[in-house]
Amino acid sequence: MRAVCWEGKETIRVETVPDPAILNPRDAIIKVTTTAICGSDLHIYNGSIPTMHKGDVLGHEFMGEVVEVGKETTGLAVGDRVVVPFTISCGRCAFCARQLWSLCDNSNPNAWMAEALYGYSGAALFGYSHLYGGYPGGQAEYVRVPFADVGPLKVPEGLSDEQVLFLSDIFPTGYMAAENCGIQPGDTVAVWGCGPVGQFAIRSAFMLGAERVVAIERIPDRLARAAESGADTLNYMELDVLEALRDLTGGQGPDACIDAVGLEAHGTTLDAWYDRAKMKMYLATDRPHALRQAISACRKGGTVSIPGVYGGWLDKFPLGTAFAKGLTLRMGQTHMQAYMPKLLERIERGEIDPSFIITHRIALEDAPGMYRTFREKDDACLKVVMTPGAAPMTPPDRGPQTPDDQALSAS
Amino acid sequence: MAMTSTSSRSTVTRTEDWMALGTGIALLAAGLSRRATSGACLAASAAPFLYRGVSGRWPDIVSRGLRADSTKAALGGSRGVHVRESIRLEKPIGEVYRFWRQLDQLPRFMFHLERVTETGDGKSHWVAKGPGDVPIEWDAEIVNEREDQLLAWQSLPGSDVVSAGSVTFSDVRQGRSTQVRVHLQYSPPAGRTGAWIATLFGREPSQTIREDLRRFKQLLEAGEIARATPGT
Ligand SMILES: NC(=O)c1ccc[n+]([C@@H]2O[C@H](COP(=O)([O-])OP(=O)(O)OC[C@H]3O[C@@H](n4cnc5c(N)ncnc54)[C@H](O)[C@@H]3O)[C@@H](O)[C@H]2O)c1
Ligand SMILES: [Zn+2]
Ligand SMILES: [Zn+2]
């Protein structure tokens, strides 16, 4: 089959690799109909995620049709149309039982690596390094899904792939980020980063009752899209974010702050240059600029919710500030299965159509160039969906210019 | 590396003991280095079955169903290396105990073992994958057994590979979970064999046991052992 493979830092190739096979009793094989590139994939692309091997198949946002099931895969049949969570969870350990699905004890065959690094291992992820299990990902024609009796969610015929695909990661991720804020009526929520996760966090914060959402970003088209969702926007290149947030909240600060940026934050202030220099010299693993700002901005007793990914030991982390203000910090990979069914219901009821974030629709074969476009945020790129088996475009480095695509970016 | 065995024993016998111990640890090391490449596979309870070299004599307690402290006697003293690991499972204690007690099922989660056959009267025959595909075999017997609480074993006199160990089971979280603790003992080898082993070894032996326990937990809780690719 054809699959998107990591060949090294900033080197992605579509290659022919062996088809997956059932390996365990609770497995299923999915024929992928639609898959997407995630902001998390950019951390891999940039070489920020350790334990990637040459030839690893990428991708953790995918959906498709069940073509084979293991002998103990109950509740799923060949022909079912499903969307698959990016985390791999057994459904039976103490963590899964407490709805802490992304902390599953039993899915990571390389748990010892994570234990060496963090003391404990969480759930394995699709296509996300050997530290996270070494499972081949879903940017491919077929993918093996372990524990398929508790992972894949069946989707009704009336909904298109594009409407439900983001149940695989970024919609639940944005939603959990907002839920972790413990939003009360009248609250103001500030969101750093208006990538796909930030966009869903903004929508979700409103769904959960926020009175006002303030979006912080520098890319104009991403800010514009946040504004379309009803957010007030701040371009951090043009003003002092902390001052602006104080202004907007009568000096108090936002009730909750969401860091939807993660370890590769961009920044122009002194601390950001310090991070950059240290990372270049391999003295630091993360650049927590947005996180520092979120902690500084948050009101006393507020919550900082961190869906953005961090991997190492953070430098100049303002714990004193967090302590002085009695902040609550909430974070982690999304507990997917706890959110997927109820968010599918919201889509069915028409409360949200997640396809609003798609800007680029391409053939799987065109993935390599699109990784760069997405990273550079060229061509107003916000979210890329890919179809395996579709004919590639020429030239390979450009996104497609289908009527569909133009209609969307014009809207 | 002090050997505290009885001084009455001859140097020749002692050398043989160290050789036996060395073979066992080489087996363990082979598994560990395999883990380095495959990222998962470990030779676990090779380590447990190394005992003769430690004591230079057989433990006094060799018969089944002895007093509760017989395990203590078998594992007694401070000599050698003690490996202790524990894990918690979301399964009632009876189920966990019964699974472990079926010795022929052990190779399902102890990957360096080829097979274990119960030969009756608490005795069993063990076959492990040795270095260079030469199997290593030995006999062991259960020296203490208390249902839902404890299982202790040691290898039989005359075995090439010698060990002693125990597994204890306890109820936690009002009986919803079970805690399993494994205790093994062996001693690092000395002399030329030891030097050779030391270069091969050099890793945490408890990590090996930890991987075995992790697979045991996966098998019981999830019903299968997680693997990412056909090779693992
Ligand atoms: N917790 C989870 O389970 C989970 C799931 C999916 C994604 N993520 C993580 O969420 C983060 C965002 O994902 P995404 O897909 O939206 O990625 P993305 O890269 O498209 O979006 C990040 C956005 O942050 C903006 N940004 C950079 N520096 C900033 C700063 N200092 N202040 C404000 N904005 C800044 C960028 O311009 C960009 O638009 C990533 O770290 C990703 O790995 C986490
Ligand atoms: Zn993702
Ligand atoms: Zn689990």
CATH number at A292 reads 3.40.50.720
Examine the fold and report which residue of A292, A316, A331 is the final residue of a domain before the chain moves on: A331
Instruction: Indicate the pLDDT class of residue A283, thresholds 50, 70 and 90.
Output: low
Contacts of B37 in chain A (CB under 8 A): none
Q: What pLDDT is attached to residue A282?
A: 59
CATH number of B76-223: 1.10.3720.10, 3.40.50.970, 3.30.530.20, 3.40.640.10? 3.30.530.20
Instruction: Indicate the pLDDT class of residue A93, thresholds 50, 70 and 90.
Output: very high
Least confident of A263-267, A351-355, A365-369: A263-267
- Dist. CA A95–CA A173, nearest whole Å: 18
Retrieve residue B118's tokens: 């119960």
Helix (H, G, I), strand (E, B) or coil at B158: coil
Retrieve residue B116's tokens: 């274990």
Residue A164 alpha carbon to ligand 1 centre in Å: 21
Largest CA distance in chain A: 61
φ, ψ for residue A205, nearest 5 deg: -60, -40
Pairing of strands B113-120, B123-128: antiparallel
Beta bridge partners of A306: A331
A115 within a domain of the structure (yes/no): yes
Q: Are A2 and A140 in contact (CB under 8 A)?
A: yes
> Does A96 share its domain with A185?
no
Can you give the pLDDT of all 232 residues of chain B as single tens digits?
A: 333 333 333 333 333 333 333 333 333 333 333 333 232 222 223 333 333 233 333 233 333 333 334 444 554 555 556 788 999 999 999 999 999 999 999 999 988 788 999 999 999 998 877 666 667 778 889 999 999 999 998 878 766 556 788 999 999 998 899 999 998 776 544 443 333 334 333 456 677 788 999 999 999 999 999 999 997 5
- Dist. CA A243–CA B55, nearest whole Å: 73
A396 within a domain of the structure (yes/no): no
> Does A289 sit in the ligand 1 pocket, CB within 6 Å?
yes
- Dist. CA A128–CA A48, nearest whole Å: 12
Ordered strands of the A188-192 beta sheet:
A232-235, A212-217, A188-192, A256-259, A303-306, A328-331
Nearest alpha carbon to residue A83 among A26, A185, A156, A184: A156
Q: What pLDDT is attached to residue A98?
A: 97
Q: What pTM, to 2 d.p., does this model score?
A: 0.84
Taking CB atoms and an 8 Å limit, are B217 and A92 in contact across chains?
Answer: no
Retrieve residue B82's tokens: 């003690």
> Does A121 share its domain with A34?
yes
CA angle A329, A330, A333 (to 5 degrees): 145
Neighbours of ion ligand 2 (CB under 5 A): A 38, 40, 169
> Does A189 share its domain with A298?
yes
Nearest alpha carbon to residue B71 among B168, B162, B139: B168
Most confident of A200-214, A266-280, B47-61: A200-214
- Dist. CA A256–CA A241, nearest whole Å: 15
A124 within a domain of the structure (yes/no): yes
DSSP state of A364: G
Chain B closest-CA separation from residue A401 CA (Å): 37
More confident residue, A399 or B128: B128
Nearest CA to ligand 1 atom 25: A193
A274 within a domain of the structure (yes/no): yes
Extended beta strands in B26-135, E state: 81-89, 113-120, 123-128
Rounded average pLDDT over A88-108: 98
More confident residue, B75 or A315: A315
Examine the fold and report which residue of A284, A308, A331 is the final residue of a domain before the chain moves on: A331
Give the percent of chain A with pLDDT over 70: 92
Q: Which domain holds residue A139?
A: 2-169+335-387
Beta bridge partners of B179: B88, B170
> Does A55 share its domain with A194?
no
Q: What pLDDT is attached to residue B129?
A: 72
Which atom, in ligand 1's list, is nearest to the CA of A177?
Answer: 1
More confident residue, A344 or B63: A344
Q: What pLDDT is attached to residue A180?
A: 98
Q: What pLDDT is attached to residue A64?
A: 98
Q: What pLDDT is attached to residue B128?
A: 78
Q: Which amino acid is at A382?
A: L
> Does A294 share its domain with A371?
no
Helix (H, G, I), strand (E, B) or coil at A376: helix
Contacts of B108 in chain A (CB under 8 A): none
Q: What pLDDT is attached to residue A62?
A: 98
Chain A closest-CA separation from residue B20 CA (Å): 30
More confident residue, B73 or A59: A59
Inter-helix orientation angle A241-248/A289-297, to 10°: 30
Domain count, chain A: 2
> Does A216 share its domain with A342?
no
Q: Are B187 and B81 in contact (CB under 8 A)?
A: yes
- Dist. CA A397–CA A378, nearest whole Å: 11
Pairing of strands B136-146, B123-128: antiparallel
> Does A209 share its domain with A151?
no
A356 within a domain of the structure (yes/no): yes
Q: What pLDDT is attached to residue A174?
A: 98
- Dist. CA B13–CA A384, nearest whole Å: 71
- Dist. CA A154–CA A45, nearest whole Å: 31
- Dist. CA A339–CA B39, nearest whole Å: 32
Pairing of strands B136-146, B150-155: antiparallel
> Does A115 share its domain with A59?
yes
- Dist. CA A178–CA A200, nearest whole Å: 9
- Dist. CA A294–CA A306, nearest whole Å: 10
Nearest CA to ligand 1 atom 19: A39
CA angle B227, B231, B232 (to 5 degrees): 40
Give the residue carrying structure tokens 């993918």.
A143
More confident residue, A191 or A288: A191
> Does A122 share its domain with A241?
no
Q: Are A179 and A157 in contact (CB under 8 A)?
A: no
Q: Are A106 and B226 in contact (CB under 8 A)?
A: yes
A69: buried, middle or exposed (CB in 10 Å: 19+, 13-18, 0-12)? buried
Contacts of B226 in chain A (CB under 8 A): 24, 90, 106-109, 124, 133, 146
Q: What pLDDT is attached to residue B161?
A: 59
A238 within a domain of the structure (yes/no): yes
Give the residue carrying structure tokens 């399993």.
B180
Taking CB atoms and an 8 Å limit, are B222 and A147 in contact across chains?
Answer: yes
> Does A201 share its domain with A315?
yes
Q: How many CA atoms lie within 13 A of B50 on its CB side?
A: 31
A253 within a domain of the structure (yes/no): yes
Rounded average pLDDT over A42-61: 95
Q: Is residue A99 predicted with pLDDT exceeding 80?
A: yes
Q: What is the CATH number of the domain that holds A25?
A: 3.90.180.10
A136 within a domain of the structure (yes/no): yes
DSSP state of A391: P
